[in-house]
Structure 1
Amino acid sequence: MNQLVRPREGRMIAGACLAVANRFGANVVAVRILTVLATVFFGLSIWVYLLLWVLIPAER
């Protein structure tokens, strides 16, 4: 599996969804949609996204 890093290419806001999708071999669009849906319905997802943004290192 790939490392958990926020890539410089292909990211929309911070690259957290793209990093998670790359790490686990998932479709990035599906991860982004699930993140948006979780934010709309549960509200907690935005805090998780911000935490991932801070904790996942950027690609060099």
Structure 2
Amino acid sequence: MKEIKRSKGNRKLAGVIGGLAERFNINANLLRVIFIIGIISTGFFPLAIIYLLLVYILPNEV
């Protein structure tokens, strides 16, 4: 099974969404739009905290 890693080539901030998109074979830009809509609709904090946790938990791609 393929691991989830922070992407080096497909990143805008820390590579979390790019890594998730590569792992699940989804378009990264579509996933970014869904993430932004989710941040706006939930009031920023829940998804922002999850994103920050993933920045520290997920390893970088080598």
Note whether the superposition's TM-score is higher than 0.5: yes
How far did 1:15 drift? 0.4
Equivalent position of 2:26 in the other structure: 26
Structure 1: gaps of 5 or more residues: none
Gaps of at least 5 residues in structure 2 are none
Identity %: 27
TM-score scaled by length of structure 2: 0.85
> What value does the CA root-mean-square deviation take over the aligned residues?
1.2
| Superimposed CA distance per residue, residues 3-45 of structure 1 (whole angstroms, 9 cap, x where no aligned partner) | 2111211200000001111111111011101111111110211
SS in 1 for 2:5: coil
Alpha-carbon distance in structure 1 between the residues aligned to 2:21 and 2:35 = 11
- 1:7 touches 1:19 (CA, 8 Å); kept in 2? yes
Count of residue pairs brought into register by the alignment: 60
